[in-house]
Structure 1
Amino acid sequence: MVDIASRVWNHKWKIDPIVRSLIDTDFYKLLMCQSVFRNKPETQVTFSLINRSKHIPLADLIDEGELREQLDHIRSLSLSRGESTWLRGNTFYGKRQMFRPDFMEWFEGLRLPPYHLERKGDQYELTFEGSWPEVMLWEIPALAVLMELRSRAVLDRMGRFELQVLYARGMTRVWEKIEALREIPDLSIADFGTRRRHSFLWQDWCVQAMQEGLGDAFTGTSNCKIAMSREVEAIGTNAHELPMVYAALAKDDAALAQAPYDVLQDWHDEHEGNLRIILPDTYGTKGFLDNAPDWLAGWTGIRVDSGDPAVAAQTAIDWWKSRGEDPSEKRVIFSDGLDVAKIKELHQQFAGKVKASFGWGTLLTNDFRGLVPDDALAPFSLVCKAVKANGSPTVKLSDNPNKAMGPQSEIDRYKRIFGVGDQAAQKVIV
């Protein structure tokens, strides 16, 4: 097992680049990338970094030269032979050859496209432009780099023994959480913590701790690199990016209203009925389900990623019942702002009603709250989103208006088209 504190203290850049592989990313990015490669390969997109936590002055904390060095390193990466073999030959979700030969040939030759970086006050403007299949693969590595450079800025001020104590306390915290989760019967939980992790080494340690501490209750990790090296399942399906871009490409209001369902039709065709998890909250969960075609009710389940998770899950249960489906046979994946208390609460509330599972993110892989002065390692909300598609702005409404994004005029239009009324604002945890 890696001595993380010593590795941080004796830091050598070439040993520990922040992103060390093109598959040091979330599994759903690769699944979505293959779908985009097949269905929308010519679409031009712009992705942009968005720091929701404005009180974190990233440009004051992170040296621009070091940031560029890390981003340039990512542009030098390509798939290794072992990584390609794993993607081509492994079984994912019970299916061999999840990734088609034409996609793999393209991916094996890929280098990520250029980036644009500029300081604006105490923040960085970081954008990526180009073809959708290429640009979309910047999202996770870009977030990982910013998050870890912020962590390193704090750690660089600490002495050797301070670092040893910090990581001992952090490990104890994670293990105490795992011990608490052991008390939950029939738990199903995965690591979803790549995008806002403390560091690659820390995420890798957390996955190993979950493997040992939870056994079969730990179902896998979203991180492909760690899944491959630790021989656990790679977990993931799709994200808001798909409906956001499809919606931006819509030519009129009718096409816009249909766009979220076009996404899932393409997804169904791509995966031949596998990976049938609905993410319904991009433009409001209730409206999405009320207007959904009947064939979607037969899908495996939904992922709840914003708003009040209990309300969203109950909305899905009511919808399944109205469409003649048995909710107890459906999967509900909770993935927004989770920690142990919320996981326990939701599991108890929905046990027997649905097959509840949990994608545990930032508060697994980046919970150093209260462990350093001024809480300087507390996690914060940083995202990298598609903001334009073929020149048109993207929009996300969410079930939490604090997560909404896009020009206000377009937000108002989308709310009208998707029938989104008043929403209860909730604190964005991470």
Structure 2
Amino acid sequence: MVDIATRVWNHKWKIDPIVRSLIDTDFYKLLMCQSIFRNKPDTQVTFSLINRSKHVPLAKLIDEAELREQLDHVRTLSLSRGESTWLRGNTFYGKRQMFSPEFMEWFEGLRLPPYQLERRGDQYELTFEGKWHEVMLWEIPALAILMELRGRAVLDEMGRFELQVLYARSMTRVWEKIEVLRDIPDLSIADFGTRRRHSYLWQDWCVQAMHEGLGDAFTGTSNCKIAKSREVEAIGTNAHELPMVYAALAKDDAALAQAPYDVLSDWHDEHEGNLRIILPDTYGTKGFLDNAPDWLAGWTGIRIDSGDPATGAQTAIDWWKSRGEDPLEKRVIFSDGLDVDKIRTLHAQFADKVKVSFGWGTLLTNDFRGLVPNDALAPFSLVCKAVSANGHPTVKLSDNPNKAMGPQDQIDRYKRVFGVGDQAAEDVVV
């Protein structure tokens, strides 16, 4: 097992680039990339970094030259032969050849496109512009780089023994959480922590700890590189990015109202079984479900990613019942701001109503809260989102207005089109 504290101490050796592979990314990005490659190959999209936690001054903490060095390194990466073989030949979600020969031929020749970086006061403005299926693959590496460089800025001030003690305490914290989770019967939980992880080495350690500590209750990791190297399942389906871009491309209000269902119609044509998971909250869960076509009720499950999770799950259960479906045959995946207490509470509340799963993210792979002075390693809310498509702004409403994004006039328009009324704001932890 890697001695993480020693590797951190010796970062000057340059043996630990923050992103070390094009498949050091979330599995859902590759699934979505193939869908976009097939269905929207000419769409031009701009992605932008958004730091929701303005109290974290990234441009003061992170040296611009070091940031550029890490970003430039990512642009040198390409698929290795072993990675290509894994993607072409492995079984994902029970399906062989998940990725088509045409997509793989393109992916094998890919180098990520250029980026634009400027300092704006205490923050960085980082953007990526180009073909959607190319620039979208910047999202996870960009987030991982900013998160880890911020961590390194704090760790660089620590001595070798301080680092050893810090990681010993952090490992103990993760293991104590695993011990709590062991007591939950029929638990199903995966690692969703790539995008805001402390570091690659730390995420890899957390996955190994989950695998050993939870056995079959640990269903896999969203990180493709770790899934490959640790021989666990790669987990993931789709994200808000798809409906946000499809909606931005809509020509009028009628097309806008239909856009979230057009996304899933394209997905339905490509995937089946456990890959048919609805993410309904982009423009409000209740309105999405109320207006959903009947064929969507036959999908496998729903992921709850904003708003009050218990309310979201009950809304899904009621919807399935109203469409003549048995909720006990359906899966609800909770994935928003989870930690062990919330996992335990939600499991107890819904385990006898639906099949319950959890995608555990930042508070698995980046929980160093309270372990250094001034809480300087506490996780914060950093995202990289599609902000325009073919020159039109994207919008996200969410079930939590604190997660909404887009120009205010467009937010107002989307609320009108999707019938979104008053929403209960909740703190965005991560």
TM-score of the two chains, using structure 1 as the length reference:
0.99
Quick one: distance in 2 between partners of 1:180 and 1:273? 31
Secondary structure of 2:397's aligned partner: coil
Shift of 1:15: 1.2
Matches within 5 A, 1:14-413: 14-271=14-271, 275-413=275-413
Shift of 1:19: 0.1
Quick one: distance in 2 between partners of 1:225 and 1:67? 22
Shift of 1:16: 0.3
1:180–1:110: structure 2 CA closer, same or farther, 3 Å change rule? Answer: same
> 1:22–1:78: 8 Å Cα contact kept in structure 2?
yes
Secondary structure of 1:68's aligned partner: helix
Secondary structure of 1:41's aligned partner: coil
Shift of 1:383: 0.1
> 2:143–2:195: 8 Å Cα contact kept in structure 1?
yes
Secondary structure of 2:246's aligned partner: helix
Shift of 1:12: 3.9
Secondary structure of 1:274's aligned partner: helix
Quick one: distance in 1 between partners of 2:117 and 2:236? 30
1:367–1:95: structure 2 CA closer, same or farther, 3 Å change rule? Answer: same
Once the two structures are superposed, what CA deviation does each residue of 1:258-308 show, in whole Å capped at 9, x if it has no partner? 000000000011225661000000000000000000000000000000000
Shift of 1:358: 0.1
Once the two structures are superposed, what CA deviation does each residue of 1:12-34 show, in whole Å capped at 9, x if it has no partner? 45310000000000000000000
> 2:117–2:127: 8 Å Cα contact kept in structure 1?
yes
* Bigger mean CA offset, 4-13 vs 60-69: 4-13
Quick one: distance in 1 between partners of 2:345 and 2:70? 40
Once the two structures are superposed, what CA deviation does each residue of 1:331-368 show, in whole Å capped at 9, x if it has no partner? 00000000000000000000110000000000000000
* RMSD (Å) for aligned C-alpha atoms: 0.6
Quick one: distance in 1 between partners of 2:271 and 2:338? 29
> 1:21–1:79: 8 Å Cα contact kept in structure 2?
yes
Quick one: distance in 1 between partners of 2:154 and 2:270? 44
Secondary structure of 1:269's aligned partner: helix
* Bigger mean CA offset, 260-269 vs 273-282: 273-282
> 1:368–1:378: 8 Å Cα contact kept in structure 2?
yes
Quick one: distance in 1 between partners of 2:151 and 2:16? 14
Shift of 1:10: 1.4
Once the two structures are superposed, what CA deviation does each residue of 1:65-89 show, in whole Å capped at 9, x if it has no partner? 0000000000000000000000000
> 2:48–2:128: 8 Å Cα contact kept in structure 1?
yes
> 2:273–2:300: 8 Å Cα contact kept in structure 1?
no
* Bigger mean CA offset, 12-21 vs 32-41: 12-21
Secondary structure of 1:428's aligned partner: coil
> 1:395–1:405: 8 Å Cα contact kept in structure 2?
yes
> 1:62–1:150: 8 Å Cα contact kept in structure 2?
yes
> 2:28–2:238: 8 Å Cα contact kept in structure 1?
yes
> 2:9–2:160: 8 Å Cα contact kept in structure 1?
yes
Once the two structures are superposed, what CA deviation does each residue of 1:50-74 show, in whole Å capped at 9, x if it has no partner? 0000000000000000000000000
Quick one: distance in 2 between partners of 1:22 and 1:310? 36
> 2:241–2:386: 8 Å Cα contact kept in structure 1?
yes
Quick one: distance in 2 between partners of 1:215 and 1:89? 25
Once the two structures are superposed, what CA deviation does each residue of 1:393-414 show, in whole Å capped at 9, x if it has no partner? 0000000000000000000000
Quick one: distance in 2 between partners of 1:187 and 1:148? 30
Secondary structure of 1:386's aligned partner: strand
Once the two structures are superposed, what CA deviation does each residue of 1:149-190 show, in whole Å capped at 9, x if it has no partner? 000000000000000000000000000000000010000000
Quick one: distance in 1 between partners of 2:412 and 2:317? 29
Quick one: distance in 2 between partners of 1:79 and 1:67? 23
Quick one: distance in 2 between partners of 1:293 and 1:15? 52
Quick one: distance in 2 between partners of 1:354 and 1:274? 14
Quick one: distance in 2 between partners of 1:310 and 1:78? 42
Secondary structure of 2:47's aligned partner: strand
Quick one: distance in 2 between partners of 1:69 and 1:371? 29
Quick one: distance in 2 between partners of 1:10 and 1:350? 46
Shift of 1:209: 0.1
Shift of 1:90: 0.1
TM-score of the two chains, using structure 2 as the length reference:
0.99
Secondary structure of 2:353's aligned partner: coil
Quick one: distance in 1 between partners of 2:24 and 2:13? 17
Once the two structures are superposed, what CA deviation does each residue of 1:211-264 show, in whole Å capped at 9, x if it has no partner? 000000000000000000000000000000000000000000000000000000
> 2:182–2:214: 8 Å Cα contact kept in structure 1?
yes
- Which residues of structure 2 form unaligned runs of 5+? none
> 1:304–1:312: 8 Å Cα contact kept in structure 2?
yes
> 2:221–2:232: 8 Å Cα contact kept in structure 1?
yes
Identity of aligned residues (%): 90
The count of residues paired between Structure 1 and Structure 2 equals 430
1:210–1:415: structure 2 CA closer, same or farther, 3 Å change rule? Answer: same
Quick one: distance in 2 between partners of 1:205 and 1:184? 22
> 2:42–2:131: 8 Å Cα contact kept in structure 1?
yes
Secondary structure of 1:198's aligned partner: coil
> 1:268–1:274: 8 Å Cα contact kept in structure 2?
no
Quick one: distance in 2 between partners of 1:428 and 1:272? 32
* Bigger mean CA offset, 264-273 vs 339-348: 264-273
Quick one: distance in 2 between partners of 1:52 and 1:175? 29
Quick one: distance in 1 between partners of 2:333 and 2:13? 37
Quick one: distance in 1 between partners of 2:303 and 2:14? 38
Quick one: distance in 1 between partners of 2:384 and 2:415? 23
